[in-house]
Amino acid sequence: MLPAHIGIIMDGNGRWAEKQGKPRLYGHRAGTEVAKKTVLAARDRGVEYLTLFAFSTENWKRPVAEVQGLFLLMEEFFRNESSELARSGAKLNIIGDRSRLPWPVRSVVSGAEKITAGGSRITVNVALNYGGRWDVVSATRQIAEDVAQGRIDMSDIGEDLVSSRLATSGQPNPDLIIRTGGESRISNFMLWQAAYSEIYVMDILWPDFRAEDLDEAIEFFQSRSRRYGGLESGPHDGRGERG
């Protein structure tokens, strides 16, 4: 069975550029092209949800010029590619704390969501200024406000309620998380949702990622037996837990 939801930590853009004697932003630009091709490849394979880790809450620590360049690339990507993605059946969903994003980026991503709102073949979460800890804290604040206002009782708080307040509310948790670039860290990506995700680390740098690499990761997933802490009772269903 296919994973219903794949998350990708797109690592290695800067190293890829440096190996070629190019500025790091050259690698980030190449990475945006690969992201688009990966969306289409995942769609063609029947993946229902894809989450791309584009800019983390920790990425603000990078040099100012690189951060500004990344935001300009994002503006360009969403402005130029949204219509084509809509025609391809992709629905864009931006997850993360938008309040700190530059206004032009907030504007263009909101527009991209509207343009692609009718997409029904694949939902693409683009994680911008996103962190797993931010996601849990945000959900906790929402729940605390509801308790304070008397809308819910303390006894109502459980895993399902927390999941319903996360950025990925209503979506299945990721069955498979792919990380390129050879690092084994999860890097604050979907910490709650990834509790039972299969994790596949690839040495390949993100700009070199191709459809066959996606196939390799899916084949790895299909070889796994997913027991969720219990004993094996049959073949895994390839669906993962619902949030």
Q: Which positions are annotated as active-site residues?
A: 11, 59
> E strands, the chain, where?
5-9, 49-56, 90-95, 122-130, 176-179, 198-201
Encode 122-157: b = buried (16+ Cβ within 10 Å), e = exposed: bbbbbbbbbbbebbbebbeeebeebeeeeeeeeeee
The DSSP call for residue 187 is T
The CA distance from 130 to 35, in Å, is 17
The CA distance from 39 to 43, in Å, is 6
